[in-house]
């Protein structure tokens, strides 16, 4: 027979002994549950994968926010540095593009089949919904092109 644990006194009555046995069973049950959880590799791998997925999502959201802020700063910087004649030309060009786009859109509406028109309208709506990002990207591209062009002349 095994000896009782050294940290517990020996039971002096049958009731104390039963209580001691119950306590030991309870502790043993908890220990077995902990060991079973540690050996469940699949569950631990899923927990780790979930945690990593959450971390990646949070990091992606953080980086997206940083990119948007940097893009807005770049757009403002470009807007501030562009000379007025360039801004005026860009505004005039934008107006011409708008007029031509309206004309092309009307021709499109007259001649395109219905399923294709529906898809095109959905794409146009997506562009309108993301207008700020498209304007920022376009502004940055124009500014980069102008700077490269200016450096090429120097």
pLDDT by residue (tens digit) across 20-32? Answer: 999 999 999 999 8
pLDDT the model gives residue 8? 59
Contacts of 86 (CB under 8 A, 6+ apart): 146
Mean predicted lDDT score pLDDT of the chain: 80
Please tell me what DSSP assigns to residue 6. Answer: T
pLDDT at site 23? 93
- Cα separation values, 10 from 13, 15, 77, Å: 9, 12, 82
Give CA–CA dist 21/15, Å, rounded. Answer: 10
- Name the most confidently modeled range: 55-64, 128-137, 145-154: 55-64
pLDDT at position 30, please? 92
| Overall average pLDDT of the 7-29 stretch | 85
Render pLDDT for 75-119 as a digit per residue (tens, 0 to 9). 788 777 778 787 788 888 888 888 888 888 787 677 777 777 787
**Are residues 11 and 20 in contact, defined by beta-carbon separation less than 8 angstroms?**
yes
Cα atoms found within 13 Å of the Cα of residue 54, Cβ hemisphere only: 6
Give 56-74 pLDDT, tens digit per residue.
888 888 888 888 888 888 8
Q: What is the pLDDT of residue 74?
A: 81
Confidence of residue 1 (pLDDT cuts 50, 70, 90): very low
């Amino acid at each position: 027979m095994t000896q009782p644990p050294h940290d517990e006194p020996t039971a002096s009555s049958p009731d104390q002994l039963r209580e001691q046995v119950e306590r030991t069973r309870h502790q043993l049950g908890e220990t077995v549950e902990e060991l079973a959880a540690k050996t469940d590799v699949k569950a631990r791998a899923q927990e780790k994968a979930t945690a990593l997925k959450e971390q990646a999502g949070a990091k992606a959201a953080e980086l997206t926010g940083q990119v948007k802020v940097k893009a807005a700063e770049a757009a403002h910087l470009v807007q501030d540095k562009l000379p007025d004649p360039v801004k005026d030309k860009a505004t005039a060009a934008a107006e011409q593009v708008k007029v031509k786009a309206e004309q092309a859109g009307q021709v499109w509406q007259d001649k395109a089949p219905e399923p294709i028109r529906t898809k095109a309208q959905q794409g146009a709506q997506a562009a309108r919904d993301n207008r700020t990002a498209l304007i920022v990207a376009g502004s940055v591209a124009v500014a980069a092109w102008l700077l490269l062009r200016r450096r090429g002349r120097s």
